[in-house]
Amino acid sequence: MASSRTVIIAGAGIGGLTAALAIARHGFGVTVFDQASRLEEIGAGIQLSPNASRILIALGLGEQLRRHVVAPQELRVMNARTARVLARAPLGAVAEKRYGAPYWVIHRGDLQAVISLFISGYGSRILRSTKTGSRSPPAPRSVGWKSGASPSSRPTGCGRTCGSASVIGASRVLPAGPPGGRLRPPTR
């Protein structure tokens, strides 16, 4: 059976990976499960406000992330028809001085890759689904874990390491979307 110092995280998104790194830094064994067989370039660039970048820097990721981020100097809100600037917000050094951390933009895949690299440095594991031929065990939800499941139930392939570990759900389920697959603007 796993000791109480073992944590399993279901979901290798940004939230799950960041939680895994924070927990591993405190001496816990961490295993992250995900249904994806590998990290793929899903999504686009994301904004990391000073609240988020402060946490990532405190976790030791600052130097690695700086290689992948863009630090905009200004945010402009503009009228789409006239191109008139409606509002400006200074970023860059001004935001970093004011908030104590930088405002960054980074590709989601780059952020996940940097966090994953650091997680492995703590001896933690990221296990992927076997659905596409990977040799890693499947994610808990893909083998039928349900809320209220007995503590002895565990994902296939997890062996003794998952028996009584704490489990954190950090996965989201996306809705199928509107009929026809198109998003429509709200009606007035």
Which residues are 31's β-sheet partners?
8, 125
pLDDT value at residue 43: 66
Q: To the nearest 10°, report the CA torsion of 24, 69, 170, 21.
A: 0
As a whole number, mean pLDDT of residues 156-166 equals 52
pLDDT value at residue 141: 35
Judged against a pLDDT cut of 90, whether residue 102 lies above it is answered with yes
Confidence of residue 109 (pLDDT cuts 50, 70, 90): confident
Region of residue 136 (left: phi > 0; alpha: psi -120 to 50; beta: else): beta
* Lowest mean pLDDT across 1-15, 40-54, 136-150: 136-150
Judged against a pLDDT cut of 60, whether residue 110 lies above it is answered with yes
Judged against a pLDDT cut of 80, whether residue 152 lies above it is answered with no
Bigger pLDDT: 173 vs 9: 9
* Measured distance CA(44)–CA(6) in Å, rounded: 33
As a whole number, mean pLDDT of residues 17-33 equals 90
pLDDT value at residue 122: 82
Burial class (CB in 10 A: 0-12, 13-18, 19+), 153: middle
Confidence of residue 138 (pLDDT cuts 50, 70, 90): very low
Report pTM. Answer: 0.69
pLDDT value at residue 165: 65
Instruction: State what percent of residues in the chain have pLDDT above 70.
Output: 64
Burial class (CB in 10 A: 0-12, 13-18, 19+), 133: exposed
E strand or H helix at 77: strand 74-78
Considering the chain, what is the average pLDDT of its residues? 75
Judged against a pLDDT cut of 70, whether residue 50 lies above it is answered with yes
